[in-house]
Each structure stands twice: as C-alpha cells, then as structure tokens.
Amino acid sequence: MIQAVIFDMDGVLIDSEPMWHQAELEVFGSLGVTICPQRQQQTVGMTTKAVTAHWYQQSPWSSMSLDEAEQAVLQHVATQIQQQGVAKKGLLPLLNRLKQAAIPTGLATNSPGFLMDTTLEKLQIRHYFNTHCSVEMVKQGKPAPDIYLLAAENLGVAPQHCLVFEDSYTGLSAAKAAGMQVIALPAVHDWHLEKFDLAELKLRCLSEFDLNQLNSTPFSVAQFNAQPA
C-alpha cells in the first residue's frame, strides 16, 4: 500500500525540458560542441555536472572550466523558469488532493537546490511538500537511488510504500532501484519506448488520473484509474 508520494521536478512539476535543451545548446554550442536533438537525448535525466562532463569528453574546450560551464547552464535555466515557467497540466489539482488527504509528499530532483527553490517559488507550490531533496544532498544523483531513499527517510515512510512520478528513464531507474512504485510520464517522443514499461503505470499527463481515488488512504497503484487520452 502506498503511504507517501514523491515527485521528480523537471518534466513533472514544470515543463522545463525545452529550457534545459536550449541552455545546453547555447552554452555548449558557444564552447564549440555540436549538439543535435538525437545526441541530446543521451543526457536526459542526468545531473548537470554529468551532462557537462559528457559534452566535454565528446568535444573538450579550454575557454572555461567545467564548473563554470555547468553554472552557466544552470543560470540560463533559472532565468527561463523565472520568466516563463508554468505548472504541468494536472499538477495543482493532484497536489491539492494529496494535501487534503494528508498524504506525505516529497520532491526529489537531480537539479541543485537553488534551481529547485526557483521552481517552487515560481509555481508557488513549496507548501505542498513535506520534504525537498536536491542533488547536492546525496552522494550520487539519479540513476542511483540515493535521493529517493533520502526523501523516503525524511517522510518517515519505507521505500516500498512510496509512489514516484517520473518522466525520464534515468529517474525511473533510480526510483525502482530504491524499491518504489513508479508512474511514468514520458515525453511524447519517448512514449513508445519499451523501457518505460518498467513502471507500474505509464500516463501522458497528471490530469489522466481519477483523483477521487485519493479520497481513501492508504491507497495502491491499482486505485489510480487512467482516463482515456
């Protein structure tokens, strides 16, 4: 039975993936790295530090340090979130229902704390979460399970009783490695990929839920009835 819910951030709370793509294109492009959409898919869900190291290995540069390049990407994304960030469809009704049902709710992101704070403040949703976990709080980011295990510990709920919302295979792998149940929200271009079948459910957006199933607690994944897309 599910006793707590944990959300990923980018691509789940906010449609920030296009912002990440643009930031990487501009920053790494200015450093001489050629990035096409197909190659960029290789890094979806990774930490910014890992993404920076990835592109440096592909095409080394000398005009700035890896840390400076990483920070440039993060600052670019933060600016875009502040200017145009909006909550994903169905998020606010789901958060409201979870709060009404007194279900412990956490956030676990591969992004650093300042970007997590930027997102929570822009969407004005900080108060919905009982714990906020960013990548610098753990030894290893996703796909390692560390950040999900930390969120579960902070919520006081055993991992096997946690339900996770994830949009990337990297995050899905992390949550499953932590022993949690997962609802996957793949991007449109990833919907057909069999690797997302690892999740207990695969939905197009949060609004596909029959939120009335959250009226009784504890609840199970089986109680989440997907509506027709």
Task: Please state, in angstroms and as integers, the Cα–Cα distance from residue 173 to each residue in 24, 92, 145, following that order.
Answer: 23, 26, 8
Catalytic residue among 10, 15, 190, 197: 10
Q: Under the phi-then-psi rule, with left for phi > 0, alpha for psi from -120 to 50, and beta for the rest, what region is 179?
A: left
Clarify whether 10 is annotated catalytic.
yes
Q: Coil, helix or strand for 184? A: strand
Contact 88, 206 (CB under 8 A): yes
Catalytic residue among 8, 117, 146, 197: 8
What are the structure tokens assigned to 188, written together? 């449109």
Cα-Cα end-to-end distance for the chain: 26
| Measured CA angle at 161 (ends 159, 166), to 5 deg | 70
Q: Which residues contact 95 (CB under 8 A, 6 or more apart)?
A: 105, 125, 128
d(CA 143, CA 110) in angstroms, rounded, equals 9
CA atoms of 115 and 164, how far apart (whole Å): 20
The set of catalytic residues is 8, 10
